Amino acid sequence: MKYTKNYLGLDLSTQGLKAVVIDSDLQIIFETSVNFDKELSEFGTEGGALIDGETVTAPSLMFVKALDMVMEKLSESALNLSDIKSVSGSAQQHGSVWLNEKAKDKLATLDPDKTLAEQLESIFSMNNGPIWMDSSTRDYCLALEFVIGGAKDGAKKLAKITGSRAFERFTGSQIAKYFYTTPEVYAQTERISLISSFMPSLLIGDFAEIDFSDGSGMNLMDINSGQWNDKALNYAGGESLKQKLGTPKASHEVAGNISSYFVEKYGFDKNCKIILFSGDNPNSLAGLAVTGPNDVIVSMGTSDTIFGSTPKASPSEKSGHVFVSPMNPKEFMVMLVRQNGSLTREKVRDQWADGSWETFTEMLNKTPAGNNGNVGIYIYTPEITPPIKNTGVFRFDKFGNEVESFSAEEEVRAVYESQFMSLRLHSKKIGLNPDMIIATGGASVDKALTQMIADVFGKPVAVGETPDSAAMGAAYRALHGYVCDQAGKYIPYTDVTSKAVQPVVVSEPNKKNHSIYSKLLGKFKKLEKTLS
């Protein structure tokens, strides 16, 4: 069967690349994916990353090979790729790709008889680019804040301008690190792309611009004007940085037509539009077509995030982020990130439940809400919210005394409870007060987990038709950008996504359990604060 008027969304997460094709009615007609660790094992990644203490990177060529592989899978399907009208995408936020002076010409002269990877392996000034898990740039964060507003008000002023205080994983401090420590690498770099602008660069055969939404996660862009902040740029990379970054653009804009490489090799139509890509969290918001300030999303992936949409920006220097919305360049999304997410839950599962989620759930059900007053805080990698540098497992009994161990059943409950009590505690500080929570990400299929969220927050939890909302957001945005381009103006996102299937409630809060968690929250707050 052949399909017509289709739209392709690509989602390059930390752990893999997924492709979703939808039709004009927003129905999924094809999906495929590539797992970095399993299918591109030659790069030696663990969870898609290369970890060297606080320095965490990913091989840029791995992304190129993954696109090769996904395109092959698409071409081998029943799809007629010439019917794809537009492509957009999602990518892990804060990661960067460093391109040398060869890159632009190489991208423009790709030979369809060869793979992307064999033609582009020499275009990187730095083979492994920093990603969101990196926590090695604290000194550069402090310096950036000082440059913007001095020792006293730097964090506050930087947050007001860029949407966030200086964060170690944000691209601005990452650029500063290499600018000051490896000036020879910086000098050889013609373009610094976000992963979300590198992927469309591959597709158009030229440098694609950074979109407003993902650009908001750099500590370099003014979220109200959509322009780079000169003071931040000059500190992070000197006078040349503006040229190396290009010009930010609204998320719905067209990066260009697909390059002749994909037309000749895979049969795409030469007029297929490539819409600017954005970050995975902005795309998750877009994928659920949520615009109301009281519908809050909890995305559970390698990291856990909580976010929602808002017409006004009120950045805080203490926690959370404000990004430009990927759905409307005049609106915003607010977000909070906890780095110890699914991988942390999986480590506890592997250690205490024999690697089985079924066993994990059985053990969870043997303990009461509140875990008899026991609190465990699991920090396997330095935490973002709240900022906790010391790693390890910190266990406290019902009296608040630190202990060495819990029972296996208590361990299992403690990791779930601590993660979502922390999300509740800190999300309230950035103004998220949900009437309903929409769960997304791979872990959202876990009914025990969604019930825990419902009980901790005291609100119903719904899930979308697919746990991969970032990939769906990429596909929806491909359609939205195409419609805007055809109309020659911005069209409201909700007008284009009105046929999207609305999330369905899967877990209602247990009032008794919610009361227990509300009483426990004060104790949890004090214990968590001792680790910061």
pLDDT at 319 over 90: no
Strands (E), 339-454: 375-379, 392-396, 402-403, 436-440
Mean pLDDT, residues 447-466 taken together? 91
pLDDT at 58 over 50: yes
Transcribe 16-62 into DSSP letters.
Answer: EEEEEEE-TT--EEEEEEEEHHHHSGGG--BTTBEEETTEEEEEHHH
pTM attached to this predicted model:
0.84
* Superfamily (CATH H level) for 6-281: ATPase, nucleotide binding domain (3.30.420.40)
| CB neighbour list of residue 488: distance below 8 Å, 6 or more residues apart | none
Transcribe 129-190 into DSSP letters.
Answer: EE-TT----HHHHHHHHHHHHHHHHHHHHHHHHHSS---TTSHHHHHHHHHHH-HHHHHTEE
Domain with CATH 3.30.420.40 in the chain: 6-281, 289-463+502-532
Mean pLDDT, residues 7-26 taken together? 96
Per-residue confidence (pLDDT) for residue 2, from 0 to 100: 44
Per-residue confidence (pLDDT) for residue 501, from 0 to 100: 81
Per-residue confidence (pLDDT) for residue 4, from 0 to 100: 57
Contact 135, 177 (CB under 8 A): no
Task: Find where tokens 């396997």 sit.
Answer: 380
* DSSP state letter for 336: E
Per-residue confidence (pLDDT) for residue 376, from 0 to 100: 98
Mean pLDDT, residues 170-183 taken together? 98
Residue type, 26: L
pLDDT at 3 over 60: no
Percent of the chain with pLDDT over 70: 98
pLDDT at 27 over 90: yes
Mean pLDDT, residues 209-227 taken together? 97
pLDDT at 433 over 90: no
Per-residue confidence (pLDDT) for residue 467, from 0 to 100: 67
Q: How confident is the model at residue 1 (pLDDT cuts 50, 70, 90)?
A: very low
Contact 204, 89 (CB under 8 A): no
Question: And the tokens for 32?
Answer: 């495929």
CATH number for the region 289-463+502-532 comes to 3.30.420.40
Per-residue confidence (pLDDT) for residue 361, from 0 to 100: 96
pLDDT at 327 over 50: yes
Tell me which of 35-49, 325-339, 367-381 is least confident.
Answer: 325-339
